[in-house]
Amino acid sequence: MESMRERFTRVTAHALDEDPRIALVLADIGVDTFERAGVTARHPERVINVGIREQLMIGVAAGLAQEGLRPVAHSYAPFLVERPFEQIKLDLGHQDAGAVLVSIGASYDAAEEGRTHQAPGDIALLATIPGFGLHVPGHPDEAGELLTRELARSGRAYVRLSSEGNAAPHPVEQLTIVRRGRAGSPFVLAVGPTLDEVVAATADLAVTVAYTSTIAPFPAAELRAAVPGTDVAIVEPYLAGTSAAALADALRERPHRLLALGVPAVELRRYGTGRQHRAAYGLDAAGIRRSLDAFLGGGALAA
């Protein structure tokens, strides 16, 4: 199956061919991929490699946007979001310039590369900047659809690609009820690539499982309508608690308990595989189940 990154290349290459507003800004990462796709040769003025200069990558994207182009900037998540964070805050946010930022690497896809190539804090950081659509696709089809939609818009968006994901795609930019529990049942919201692990973790539990690949704007109204009882859990593939405030705010009129799972703020100092990191952070099916059992007190077993 095509990876999210391959889908990104295909969708962006198509957009460069079809829409003269689209411009791609790279900082060496991804340059070969787009050359192979032929778009660098076809659109040398709109496929811009700034070299290993990430502050400049964002500044250039802002300048392109101010002149009416639709910039896409792409790199590994830490180099796209964390290194040039003030450029994102000011050159995009404060200047009110639009851009589509597309990252790879996610929280621990690059487990063998070490902490330098991992950005579990990316979504939490970007959530501090007004107007960012934050997308965490869980399937290449979702990634493709989200990218296509955002390329046609003019605002600020972040699309967080990952090599983790789910077997099947779901509709984007809406809350999907994956499994409906009985009245008053606990509610588990899976974000992006965590869904298949959440479904496996809750197979024999009487819980409602919902899914979203967009975390900003936060689907507050849909969530209020979908939460059956008082016990609510969210499983995010990035920094634990990132969306806890938005979730608590969505449910502020209702008594509820909240469990927020995600990547903890620790220095793991391990290499290995993403799967190993997922297990170490308690985000595989077994770990999610352990946390849910502790949270629910073992009272959620299906009859």
Partner 1 sequence: MPSSTIPPAAARGYDDLPALLALLRSDAKHDPSAASTIDVHWVLYDRILRVAPETADDPERDRLLLSKGHGPASFYAVLAAKGFLPADALAGFGGFDSPLGHHPDAALIAGVEIASGSLGHGLPIAVGRALALRATGRSEPRVVCVLGDGELAEGSNHEAIALAGRLGLERLLAVVVDNGSATYGWPGGIAGRFASEGWTTASARARDHDALEHALLGGSPGRPHAVVARVEA
Nearer to partner 1, 66 or 148 (CB): 66
- Least Å distance between CB 45 and partner 1? 4
- Residue 179: CB minimum distance to partner 1, A: 46
**Nearest distance, CB of residue 19 and partner 1, angstroms:** 13
Separation between Cα atoms, residue 26 and residue 14, nearest integer Å: 17
Output 35 or 86, the one with its CB closest to partner 1.
86
Distance, in Å, from the CA atom of 202 to the CA atom of 200, rounded to the nearest integer, reads 6
Distance CA 176, CA 171 (A): 7
List residues binding partner 1 (CB under 8 A). 23, 45-46, 48, 50-51, 53, 55-56, 58-69, 71, 86-87, 90-91, 94-96
| Nearer of residues 42 and 224 to partner 1, judged by Cβ | 42
Question: Which C-beta is closer to partner 1: that of 53 or that of 117?
Answer: 53
Q: How far is the CB of 101 from partner 1 (least distance, A)?
A: 15
Task: Find the shortest distance in angstroms from Cβ 62 to partner 1.
Answer: 5
Q: Are strands 214-216 and 132-135 parallel, antiparallel or unpaired?
A: antiparallel
Are the CB atoms for 197 and 292 separated by under 8 Å?
A: no
Closer Cβ to partner 1, 87 or 103, answer by number: 87
Closer CB to partner 1, residue 50 or residue 201? 50
How far apart are the C-alpha atoms of 300 and 303, rounded to whole Å? 9
* Residue ranges with strand state E in the chain: 22-26, 47-49, 70-76, 99-104, 132-135, 156-160, 176-179, 187-191, 208-212, 214-216, 231-239, 257-263
Q: Rounded to whole angstroms, what are the CA distances from 192 to 28, 37, 224? A: 27, 27, 19
Rounded to whole angstroms, the Cα distance separating 186 from 80 reads 37
Give me 120's structure tokens. 């579990």
Least distance in angstroms from the C-beta of 93 to partner 1: 10
Which DSSP string corresponds to 18-65? H-TTEEEEESSTTHHHHHHTTHHHH-TTTEEE--S-HHHHHHHHHHHH
Nearer to partner 1, 26 or 234 (CB): 26
Please, what is the minimum distance in Å from the beta carbon of residue 50 to partner 1? 5
CB of 64 or CB of 288, closer to partner 1: 64
Shortest distance, CB of residue 86 to partner 1, whole angstroms?
6
3-class secondary structure, 187 = strand
- What region does 9 belong to: left with phi over 0, alpha with psi -120 to 50, or beta? alpha
Cα Rg of the chain, angstroms: 19
